[in-house]
Structure 1
Amino acid sequence: MTTRISGLASGMDIDSMVKDLMKAQRIPLDKLTQKKQLLEWQRDDYRDMNKLLKDFDQLIFDGVGRQSTFLKKTVTSTNDSVVTATSNGSSGNISTTIEKITLATSRTWIGQPVLTGSNPMQADTKLSSLGTLPSDNKLKFKLTKPGTSDFVKDGTTDKIFEITIDPTTETIDSLTQKLSNSDLGVSAFYDSRTGQIVITNKETGAGSKITFADTNTQNLYENLGFTSNVNNELTSTNNNLGTDATFTLNGLSMSRSSNSFTISGVTYTLKSNTTSPVTISASTDSQGIFDSIIKFVDQYNTTIGKINDKVSEERYRKYDPLTDEQRKDLSDKEAELWDAKAKSGMLRGDTILSSGLNQLRSDMYASVNTGKADYDQLAKIGIQTSSSYLDKGKLTITDENKLKDAIAKDPEAVKKLFTNSGTTSETKGIAYRLRDSIDSIMGKVEAKAGNSSRGNNQFAIGKQLIDMDTRITNFNTRLTQVEDRYYRQFTAMEQAISRSNQQSVYLSQQFGGEQ
């Protein structure tokens, strides 16, 4: 770096003079920096538009783009305290009568009292005091679930449910906790007042069995008050085998292992025993479908509204991005107002978004081959384009009653209007068309402005930013060279002045000496 001498001989403020000279040299650099800032703002605005489109696409997918949205059912029960029901969407509009209900129960095993003398053992009694524990510290069981006849399989073999115990610390109480937390599917507790262990299957229904998979496990549970039969199944003298739920549905006697079961797309949940009839009705959830369509219309209007605002936003070309020096001279409020003007209009007249808006509007207006002329356009079910030019293609619900009537009369046709599958634009439902168009628009925007996962070399604006960074770096290098040249020139001047001053002093001394 050039040695810099700051006005010692001349008395001039060299640093200030160089700084002023460099201001003019920096003007092209400021222009490059401002252009880079404009590109970054444009990139960010493009990405904001893509986020807006992505949110709309997700709402379509979760709402009117799903056939299940139009299959929603409202299910009612004449006695919710006895039976409730829900529909998974595949059921028809039905009315069923369910009566003569007996709830399913779970199997329960209650052991005999575990005593010390005549007194129940304490909950913290060590298992080691009850006999020999498994040498590998594992209790092993096999399980038959309600409604089945074979053991639960682990692949093609019987599954062994294992519970690991610590023979030095395990107690009766901790054993019941481990049993409850295991995959065996039971809950257990020990009552220290009676000295009895109670084991209850978490599933209802008849036929469940727990079988001891080894002798040590069997012996331990026999010491805990239980018994086993010739098949090594866990038994007890107080044994509730569990029962299936029984009921009559529209006159047909039926049974299920669970109190919750599904028949023809309707899931019934039995809550109480009764002989009295309860009526379950399932009908089209017209209000739910209506709400989904309203949400879709609102989001569409919001989306195209924000995009329209962006492509028509005023561009204030006299307001360039502020340089660091310019920002220092403004208050925070002034800088904020300036930035708002400078950022405005980054996407004004953008062809990608403008043509994309036209395509979205076309997707909305074009008819869909639903097979029913009264349901082939949104306008025919009460949804039309706003008559106000200022709305720029927004939708409006012109007749809510007409829309509700259309849904109630033929929800299948409304479903096809939105979700009809097809290979041509005439056969595709509105939701599918819109999602295709949104995907196309987003792809074009990403090609120009990228996304958070793309590097700058993978999209057009990014490549411009790379070029801009290179030019800025090169220009900064050149400015350093120019600044060094100025200092070299001023240093040479200072050195010349210093030599001149020295000569003057010398001559003055010589002439003075002769006198």
Structure 2
Amino acid sequence: MVMRIGGLASGINTDEIIQKLMSAERLPLDKMNQDRTLLEWQRDGYREIYQKLEEMDRYSIYEMKKPSTYNSKTVTSSLESAVTATATTSALEGSYSIEVSKLASSAIKVGTDKIGIDPNKALDEQGVATGKVYFNTFDVETNAMKQREVEIEAGDTLKDVLKKISDDKTNNVRAFYDEQSQKVIFETTRTGDYNQGGEEITFDSDFFNSTLKLQGAVEVGGTDAEFNYNGVEFTSKTNEYTMGGVTFKFNNVTEPGVKVNLNVEANVDQAFDQIMDFVNKYNELVDMINKSQTEERYRDYKPLTEEQKEGMSEKQIELWEEKAKSGILRGDTMLTSGLFNLRETWYSDVQNGGQYNVLTQVGISTGKDYLNGGKIEVDETKLKEALKENPDDVFKLFVNNEDGDGRGLINRLEDSIGNMMKGIEERAGKSTSTLDNYTLGRRMKDLDTRISNFEDRLLSTENRYWRQFNAMEQAISRLNNQSAQLLSQFGGGM
């Protein structure tokens, strides 16, 4: 570090002079920092578009590829307290009549008496032997009762043992202690009669029979649901039953002779709303890309240096940077061609063998105003009519996962969005990308190297200026000393 002598001999404001000299020297550095900031803004602009594309691809396109988007069904029930239902796209429209005579229930056994042990203290301290104990539950795979085991370890409480039983999902039971009745309860985790009228839970060990008072406990429940569907008797292990794409849920038994009528109808409004949600998301994407290509570019507004920011308020900085960022991606050929490809997606015919081969047949178009970037416009009446008359062919127009002329419009859009995302990722990377992994990052890294080298040069230049001024100060100081000596000599001889 060069010693800095600030005008002691000359009286010159050396600091101010060198500061001004260095301001001129720093102009190329300011330009490089501004260039790097512009690259960061461009990268961030690309990433905002990338994020919008990713959301479109991950959520909106995903929803548009589901058959239920185009062929939603609604089921109404005349007695929802007893039976409700949902329908898939394959369900036929029409009426269903159901009477529910019995609900499916889980099997349960409750101890015959209060247990004589503290459920929160170690069992071995209460005289209960450690080791394995056994009980049985019905196994569907072998179609027979299967012995289950649980080990009582030293220090285990009753609650610990019951938790081990419940945590083992293969047991198909949950076991717990009821604080109020002070009894142990075993209950199957599934509804239905699996043992054809026999017991679902039995006990082999004295620990369960005597200690937990479960010997002689009467099993309750373990029944199948029983219902009459359009005059035919059916049973179900659970309180749900699916047939013909309709899933019926039994909430309660019906009064004798009372029938629940359920009607399955196409829900055109729901299908329309789901498609409109996609349209709105797509138009937001087009607006964002189109704006990046049409907003004005203020070339006189360069990124501010730190020195410039010091003399400005936060609001002034915000307004300045708003103009400086405007049009930062304008004229980008990757984005303009990508926008063109998105628009082009909707024009081609789809040779799918269905009723609808072009988008306009279902009331959707990209509009007449080319300047809007190809936003989608919807004829509500025409789209709802198509969804009502032939939702399956509307689906085939949008979704047909094959190559060539038969490829669906949504599949083609997915391809275009994927290509755009790939191009942006190569240019601007992701939030997790290093500078080496994308084009703008490599340019920023190059600028970082140049900036670092230039800062080293500036330091050398500043030190050189100080050495020169220090030399001047020293020369003036010597001259002053010589002058003083001469004056002193002349003065002494008079």
Q: Indicate whether the TM-score tops 0.5.
A: yes
Take 1:439 and 1:507, find their aligned partners in 2: how far apart are those partners? 88
Match of 2:486 among 482, 507, 511: 507
Match of 1:133 among 123, 128, 134: 128
Q: CA deviation at 1:128?
A: 5.3
Deviations 1:2-39 (A, max 9, x none): 22211111111111111111111111111111111111
Take 1:463 and 1:68, find their aligned partners in 2: how far apart are those partners? 46
Equivalence for 2:238? 258
Q: CA deviation at 1:323?
A: 1.1
Q: Say whether residues 1:149 and 2:124 are aligned partners.
A: no
Deviations 1:256-275 (A, max 9, x none): 12122322332221122233
Equivalence for 1:478? 457
Task: State the identity as a percent.
Answer: 37
Query: What SS does the aligned partner of 1:501 have?
Result: helix
Q: CA deviation at 1:210?
A: 2.7
Q: CA deviation at 1:164?
A: 4.5
Equivalence for 1:452? 431
Point out the more displaced range, 384-393 or 337-346: 384-393
Equivalence for 2:188? 201
Q: Alignment RMSD, CA only?
A: 2.8
Alignment of 1:317-332 (within 5 A): 317-332=299-314
Residues 11 and 46 of structure 1: is their aligned pair in 2 closer, same or farther, counting only changes over 3 Å? Answer: same
Deviations 1:67-106 (A, max 9, x none): 3423432122221111111124443334322225222233
Aligned AA for 1:264? G
Take 1:189 and 1:469, find their aligned partners in 2: how far apart are those partners? 69
Q: CA deviation at 1:433?
A: 0.7
Alignment of 1:333-482 (within 5 A): 333-373=315-355, 375-398=356-379, 400-424=380-404, 426-482=405-461
Take 2:112 and 2:430, find their aligned partners in 1: how far apart are those partners? 69
Aligned AA for 2:79? N
Q: CA deviation at 1:469?
A: 0.8
Take 2:312 and 2:54, find their aligned partners in 1: how far apart are those partners? 38
Residues 387 and 186 of structure 1: is their aligned pair in 2 closer, same or farther, counting only changes over 3 Å? Answer: same
Point out the more displaced range, 380-389 or 307-316: 380-389
Is the contact between residue 96 and residue 281 of structure 1 (CA under 8 Å) also seen in structure 2? yes
Take 2:310 and 2:120, find their aligned partners in 1: how far apart are those partners? 79
Take 1:406 and 1:454, find their aligned partners in 2: how far apart are those partners? 45
Is the contact between residue 146 and residue 204 of structure 1 (CA under 8 Å) also seen in structure 2? no
Q: CA deviation at 1:189?
A: 4.3
Take 1:34 and 1:291, find their aligned partners in 2: how far apart are those partners? 47
Aligned AA for 1:311? Q
Query: What SS does the aligned partner of 2:219 have?
Result: strand
Q: CA deviation at 1:500?
A: 0.6
Residues 42 and 253 of structure 1: is their aligned pair in 2 closer, same or farther, counting only changes over 3 Å? Answer: same
Take 2:448 and 2:125, find their aligned partners in 1: how far apart are those partners? 80
Is the contact between residue 191 and residue 197 of structure 1 (CA under 8 Å) also seen in structure 2? no
Aligned AA for 1:209? E
Query: What SS does the aligned partner of 2:431 have?
Result: coil
Q: CA deviation at 1:204?
A: 2.0
Q: CA deviation at 1:490?
A: 0.7
Residues 132 and 264 of structure 1: is their aligned pair in 2 closer, same or farther, counting only changes over 3 Å? Answer: farther
Q: CA deviation at 1:181?
A: 6.1
Aligned AA for 2:246? V
Match of 1:271 among 247, 251, 267: 251
Is the contact between residue 130 and residue 154 of structure 2 (CA under 8 Å) also seen in structure 1? no
Is the contact between residue 110 and residue 197 of structure 1 (CA under 8 Å) also seen in structure 2? yes
Point out the more displaced range, 61-70 or 343-352: 61-70
Q: Which runs of 5+ in 2 are unaligned?
A: none
Take 1:97 and 1:259, find their aligned partners in 2: how far apart are those partners? 16
Match of 1:280 among 262, 268, 289: 262
Aligned AA for 1:43? R
Query: What SS does the aligned partner of 1:238 have?
Result: coil
Equivalence for 2:287? 305
Deviations 1:243-301 (A, max 9, x none): 21122222322211212232233222112223322223323332221111101111111
Equivalence for 1:13? 13
Deviations 1:199-241 (A, max 9, x none): 33332222262344xx6x33442343333xxxxxxxx353335
Equivalence for 2:112? 112
Is the contact between residue 152 and residue 161 of structure 2 (CA under 8 Å) also seen in structure 1? no
Is the contact between residue 448 and residue 460 of structure 1 (CA under 8 Å) also seen in structure 2? yes
Aligned AA for 2:412? R
Point out the more displaced range, 51-60 or 197-206: 197-206
Q: How many residues align?
A: 486
**What's the TM-score, normalizing by structure 1?**
0.86
Take 1:395 and 1:128, find their aligned partners in 2: how far apart are those partners? 72
Equivalence for 2:58? 58
Deviations 1:442-461 (A, max 9, x none): 11111111111211111111
Take 1:501 and 1:196, find their aligned partners in 2: how far apart are those partners? 110
